């Protein structure tokens, strides 16, 4: 009888110990994520625009630009992103609206495009509702905005937070590649009527 009691006591002890271990393991598995939520906090992207990973963006350009300077600006942005390790697709403004976009020129996608800019050398970059808008008083201004963005943000993988905005002017600066030794500029009054095709 005593042996039976000892066996039952030992079995009860082992069962209690096993149950305690199982309960402890299940408690560890159900610990809430930091911050009190049930889901783990999402990782912050290394390089983002408005908190969204740059890889989730695409580039859209103004295809109505007669000299295709907006397209050239879009391709320069794509090259800069590629150098930074991101492969972004380029589309004309005639493509469907889709997700987060970098708009190069007047793409008729937002109501806030400042088409009334009077200074042809002025440019502006703004971030609004998932769209990064590059605009200018002329297509040359748009190209200057693209170069500024590529040089100061994309090449440095410098994130742009919500509300991001910057502006400037390309007056008296070279915004196109030229052969060494040439010193041609586009001036306020282009009396020689130089165009993209005649600039060396």
Domain edges within the chain: 48-169
CA distance 92 to 173: 28
What pLDDT is stored for residue 171 in this prediction?
80
Determine phi and psi for 179, rounding to 5 degrees: -65, 150
CA distance 144 to 168: 9
- pLDDT tops 60 at residue 20: yes
User: What is the domain class of 48-169 according to CATH?
Assistant: alpha beta
- pLDDT tops 60 at residue 200: no
- What is the SS3 assignment for 8? helix
Do 116 and 104 meet the contact criterion of CB atoms below 8 Å apart? no
- pLDDT tops 70 at residue 149: yes
CA distance 13 to 113: 76
Look at the block and give the residue holding tokens 């919500």: 162
Q: What is the mean pLDDT of the chain?
A: 76
Pairing mode of beta strands 131-136, 100-104: parallel
The per-residue pLDDT for range 155-173, each reduced to its tens digit, is: 999 999 988 999 998 886 6
Do 135 and 124 meet the contact criterion of CB atoms below 8 Å apart? yes
Tell me the H-state helices in 118-159: 139-149
CA distance 77 to 86: 11
- pLDDT tops 60 at residue 43: yes
Q: How far is CA 100 from the centre of its chain?
A: 8
What pLDDT is stored for residue 30 in this prediction?
47
What pLDDT is stored for residue 151 in this prediction?
94
The per-residue pLDDT for range 56-67, each reduced to its tens digit, is: 999 999 877 667
């Amino acid at each position: 009888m005593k042996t039976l009691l000892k066996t039952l006591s030992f079995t009860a002890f082992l069962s209690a110990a096993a149950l305690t271990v199982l309960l402890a393991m299940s408690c560890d598995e159900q610990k809430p994520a930091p911050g009190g939520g049930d889901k783990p906090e999402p990782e912050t992207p290394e390089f983002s625009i408005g908190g969204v990973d740059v890889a989730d963006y695409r580039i859209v350009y103004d295809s109505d630009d007669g000299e295709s300077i907006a397209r050239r600006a879009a391709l320069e942005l794509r090259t800069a992103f590629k150098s930074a390790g991101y492969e972004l697709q380029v589309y004309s403004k005639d493509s469907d609206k889709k997700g987060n976009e970098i708009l190069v020129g007047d793409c008729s996608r937002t109501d806030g495009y400042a088409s009334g800019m009077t200074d042809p050398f002025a440019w502006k970059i703004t971030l609004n509702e998932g769209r990064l808008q590059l605009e200018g008083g002329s297509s040359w201004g748009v190209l200057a905005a693209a170069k500024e963005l590529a040089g100061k943000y994309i090449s440095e993988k410098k994130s742009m937070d919500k509300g991001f905005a910057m502006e400037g002017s390309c007056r008296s600066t070279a915004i196109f590649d030229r052969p060494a030794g040439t010193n041609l500029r586009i001036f306020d009054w282009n009396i020689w009527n130089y165009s993209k095709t005649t600039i060396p």
